[in-house]
Amino acid sequence: MNRTRRGCRVARKRVLRAVDHELALEERFLLDEHLATCSACADEYRRALRLEEAFAHMPSPPSESLDIDRALDAIHGTLSAGADERGSVAPRSNDARVRVAPGRRRRTALAVSVSAAALLAVYVALAGGGGEPRPVRPDAPAPSPQWVDSESVAPGKSDADAEREAQLRETARVERELRTHLVAAFGDVALPLTDADVDAALERFDALTVSIKRWPLARIAAPLLRDPDAGLASRAARFLGRRGDRLSVSQLEAVLDRGAVANAAIRALGDLGRDATVALATALHAPGLQGAALRVLARVGGASAAATVADDLARWGANDGVVDDHLDALAAMGEPAVASLLTLASRPEVDRGRVLACLERVDGAAEECARLFSSGRFGDPELEFEVCARLQPTALLPWIEERASEHRYRASALACLERWDGSTPIRALLELDALGWVPGEDVIASLRVLAERDAARFAEYARDLLAARDERGAEHYLAALVAMDVGAAAAALVPLALSPVLPNDSRQWAALAVGDLGSVDETRLLLRGSTLLGADDHRLFAACLVTIQRRLGDDGTLEALERFSPRHVRRVRDALLVATNDDRAEARFAGDAVELFRVMRALDGAFLSRNPNLAQSSL
């Protein structure tokens, strides 16, 4: 049966690879053989083929309506709007017009020059110039006046051209004014400008530009990025960072190759936020700008910025300084960087240990990993276990337990749990045992490893179980502790022996197990607890005495019995001495039972005739 299931599992994988044309000839024969005998897999194969065929019927790009000339116009429209004075693109010919694809609002914004005249008329009317003003609702927002691109106006003598020239003159006036105010507002501040400097300068700028504030100032400021005065260009860049829009991204990107302005451009791109991520990725590749770009990307944050930094890091392989800078940036981005870090860690050219150490520094990484792994987004179990061992996200315990139930992942899943701190892995291992998902001997072996690493957690877990009054859990735990046979974990037996949560029989075995597995320290704890036991715990007390005599000798027994009358003390000691002088090393548990019985008989009546010299409070 198992063999058949395994055969089907292999065949299903081969089916997927067959439709992907990735199957070697020999495997193809094996698959065909299997399909001939297994109708379920043959059905799966037919379904996979139908699906593959359906891909060909999905919508295809309408190649006949693809207008490359129009696309070229739009591309150049964007480029010329983004960098009017950029030398890398030849100026547009006069008859070239940017035609805009329907519905493309962003591109529409770039083509305003065509409709500038009509809109400027509205502005002129609002400004009080030219002709009879049209009635305007007092509460209606005034439209922004349109800036006229000098390249879009052909030199000519027609009325329309004359009108455009007038608009150009007006635009030039505003541009001059803007330039003057930009210098006045930003000029006194030394470069590079801090964020606080920019805030203060913008306040001054706003106060100076009340009369032109309705003009598209960001657009007018863009050419200043190419101003020969690098100081002015840098200030314009910071201005665009705060007052610009998505169009400003490509304008700023275009001056990244201008050394004196590049740093201001990068900071401005950072101010523009996530829209600038792709442009910042360009800066990452530029010599000398990497550090600044990384800092800004870390500030911008988001999954896209993280993926950009991670992609760039993979390029650098083992270059320590650069890798550290990249990892620091990713760590600063927080949760959105987790997916990128995991992807990065799975790449062979990257030092996985360093990436995972970085992952540990990311706030919220454990929760995000839990989310990602549970969604099955990563297909690298080795990496996932390594991450689980390092971050120890409790939300992933069900995921680890599920893996542990599968034979192929069991060893890795248990090894992962063995690296966890605290009592959480003990609970998980006991749960796996209780569910029967992992063989008991594997659970015990893992518990032993946990005890070797940190034995104190075992007593802590026993106290947790008892505090929760989890009787079944405590009994299960007791059985596991006895099966572990590890002295270091014996401290956990003491609270189990002394707590009324467990039934009396189990408590007796716990007390005896302290004698077998524990040391003097654990026995002293047992002694201290046993002095509080009452007549109802008669048998348990006998078990404690056996253990005390074994580990602490006569002095310990006398201390445990001091509340009883001398006659009963003598009877119990006689029983114990006979018992412990009796050499039954070969049958330890049977011997314990016999000792226990003798001591129990000797204790008969002891609780009813206590030593009158001792205070009652000791009970």
Near other proteins in 230-269, by CB under 8 A? 250, 253-254, 257
Q: How far apart are CA 153 and CA 165, in angstroms?
A: 8
CB of 431 to other proteins, least distance (A): 29
Report the site for other proteins in 72-101 (rule: CB under 8 A).
72, 74-76, 78-79, 82, 87-90, 101
CB of 245 to other proteins, least distance (A): 14
Residues 370, 393 contacting (CB under 8 angstroms): yes
Given the complex with other proteins, which of 107 and 551 has the nearer CB atom? 107
Q: Does 48 bind other proteins (CB under 8 A)?
A: yes
Kindly indicate which of the ranges 3-11, 299-307, 386-394, 575-583 contains the residues binding other proteins, using the contact rule CB under 8 A: 299-307
Q: Which of 2, 59, 138, 555 binds other proteins (CB under 8 A)?
A: 59
Residues 244, 272 contacting (CB under 8 angstroms): yes
CB of 101 to other proteins, least distance (A): 6
Q: How far apart are CA 465 and CA 469, in angstroms?
A: 6
Q: Does 46 bind other proteins (CB under 8 A)?
A: yes
How does DSSP assign 548-563, residue by residue? HHHHHHHHHHHHHHTT
Kindly indicate which of the ranges 155-163, 174-182, 273-281, 460-468 contains the residues binding other proteins, using the contact rule CB under 8 A: 273-281
Q: Does 63 bind other proteins (CB under 8 A)?
A: yes
Closest CA to 214 of 242, 178, 179, 239: 178
Q: Does 285 bind other proteins (CB under 8 A)?
A: yes
Query: How many whole angstroms from its chain centre is CA 310?
Result: 14
Tell me the three state secondary structure of residue 302: coil
Q: Does 24 bind other proteins (CB under 8 A)?
A: no
Angle between helices 352-361 and 381-391 (to 10 degrees): 40
Which amino acid does the sequence have at 204? R
Q: Which of 108, 144, 150, 346 binds other proteins (CB under 8 A)?
A: 346
Residues 331, 300 contacting (CB under 8 angstroms): no
Q: Which of 131, 155, 379, 612 binds other proteins (CB under 8 A)?
A: 379
Residues 101, 107 contacting (CB under 8 angstroms): yes
CB of 175 to other proteins, least distance (A): 24
Kindly indicate which of the ranges 3-11, 145-153, 169-177, 277-285 contains the residues binding other proteins, using the contact rule CB under 8 A: 277-285
Q: How far apart are CA 328 and CA 342, in angstroms?
A: 15
CB of 530 to other proteins, least distance (A): 60
CB of 391 to other proteins, least distance (A): 21
Report the site for other proteins in 412-451 (rule: CB under 8 A).
none
CB of 255 to other proteins, least distance (A): 10
- Can you give the length of the chain in residues? 619
Report the site for other proteins in 347-376 (rule: CB under 8 A).
347-348, 375-376
CB of 260 to other proteins, least distance (A): 17
Q: How far apart are CA 493 and CA 255, in angstroms?
A: 72
Given the complex with other proteins, which of 330 and 533 has the nearer CB atom? 330
Given the complex with other proteins, which of 49 and 535 has the nearer CB atom? 49
Going from the C-alpha of 221 to that of each of 171, 237, 336, the distances in angstroms are 12, 9, 34
Given the complex with other proteins, which of 38 and 278 has the nearer CB atom? 278
105-109-111 Cα angle (round to 5):
110
Going from the C-alpha of 162 to that of each of 111, 145, 155, the distances in angstroms are 20, 18, 9
Residues 330, 322 contacting (CB under 8 angstroms): no
CB of 151 to other proteins, least distance (A): 14
Site size for other proteins, by CB under 8 A? 73
Binding mask 396-415 for other proteins (x = CB under 8 A): --------------------
Q: How far apart are CA 247 and CA 261, in angstroms?
A: 18
Q: Does 201 bind other proteins (CB under 8 A)?
A: no
Closest CA to 314 of 284, 336, 276, 293: 284
CB of 370 to other proteins, least distance (A): 16
Given the complex with other proteins, which of 265 and 388 has the nearer CB atom? 265
CB of 455 to other proteins, least distance (A): 41
How does DSSP assign 67-111, residue by residue? -HHHHHHHHHHHHHHH-TT-TTSPPPPTT------TT-HHHHHHT
Q: Does 111 bind other proteins (CB under 8 A)?
A: no
Tell me the three state secondary structure of residue 610: strand
Q: How far apart are CA 247 and CA 233, in angstroms?
A: 17
Kindly indicate which of the ranges 38-46, 196-204, 451-459, 465-473 contains the residues binding other proteins, using the contact rule CB under 8 A: 38-46
Which amino acid does the sequence have at 100? V
Q: How far apart are CA 388 and CA 19, in angstroms?
A: 35
Given the complex with other proteins, which of 85 and 177 has the nearer CB atom? 85
Q: Which two tokens stand for residue 352?
A: 């996985």
Q: Does 28 bind other proteins (CB under 8 A)?
A: no
Q: Does 64 bind other proteins (CB under 8 A)?
A: no
Q: Does 107 bind other proteins (CB under 8 A)?
A: yes
Q: Does 168 bind other proteins (CB under 8 A)?
A: no
Q: Does 570 bind other proteins (CB under 8 A)?
A: no
Going from the C-alpha of 103 to that of each of 15, 66, 76, 108, 336, the distances in angstroms are 43, 16, 19, 9, 32
Q: Which of 28, 32, 37, 53 binds other proteins (CB under 8 A)?
A: 53
Kindly indicate which of the ranges 298-306, 358-366, 399-407, 443-451 contains the residues binding other proteins, using the contact rule CB under 8 A: 298-306
Q: Which of 5, 26, 64, 68 binds other proteins (CB under 8 A)?
A: 68
Q: Does 304 bind other proteins (CB under 8 A)?
A: yes
Q: Residue 263's CB: how many other CB atoms inside 10 A?
A: 21
Given the complex with other proteins, which of 383 and 484 has the nearer CB atom? 383
Q: Where are the beta strands (DSSP E) in 350-431?
A: none
